[in-house]
Copies of this chain bind each other. A is one copy, B any other.
Amino acid sequence: MARPKRPPWQVEQTKNKIFQATLELFNRQGYEAVTIRKIARRAGCSPATIYNYYSDKDALYLDILTEGFAILYQLLQAEPRSRDPLVRLRAYTAVFYRFSLDHPYYYDIMFSFHVPKYLDYAGTPAEETAFAEKEVALKNIGLILEAMADFYRGCPALRSAPGMVTGRALTLLGTCHGIISLHRSGIWAELETDFSALYFSAVDDYLQKLTREKEELLAGEVRLRAARQQPTGEEYSSRRSFWKKR
Contacts of A190 in B (CB 8 A): 134, 138
**A182 in contact with B192 given A82-B234, A209-B205, A236-B90 (CB within 8 Å):** no
Is B238 a contact partner of A171 (Cβ separation < 8 A)? no
Is B163 a contact partner of A194 (Cβ separation < 8 A)? yes
Is B239 a contact partner of A111 (Cβ separation < 8 A)? no
Is B174 a contact partner of A141 (Cβ separation < 8 A)? no
Q: Which of B86, B176, B194, B208 contacts A240 (CB 8 A)?
A: B208
Contacts of A174 in B (CB 8 A): 175, 178-179, 181-183, 202
Q: Which of B82, B114, B171, B181 contacts A111 (CB 8 A)?
A: B181
**A201 in contact with B167 given A178-B178, A185-B119, A238-B208 (CB within 8 Å):** yes
**A111 in contact with B187 given A174-B179, A234-B84 (CB within 8 Å):** yes
Report how far A85 CA is from B124 CA in the complex, Å.
46
**A171 in contact with B179 given A87-B235, A236-B86, A240-B204 (CB within 8 Å):** yes
Which of A188, A189, A211: most chain B CB closer than 10 A?
A: A188
Contacts of A188 in B (CB 8 A): 138, 141, 170, 173
Q: Which of B163, B177, B193 contacts A163 (CB 8 A)?
A: B193
Is A186 a contact partner of B84 (Cβ separation < 8 A)? no
Q: Nearest Cβ distance between residue A206 and chain B, in whole angstroms?
A: 8
Q: Nearest Cβ distance between residue A211 and chain B, in whole angstroms?
A: 7
| Interface check A3, CB cutoff 8 A | no
Of the A-B pairs whose beta carbons lie under 8 Å apart in the complex, a sample of 5, sorted by A's number, is: A87-B235, A170-B198, A174-B178, A177-B182, A204-B242
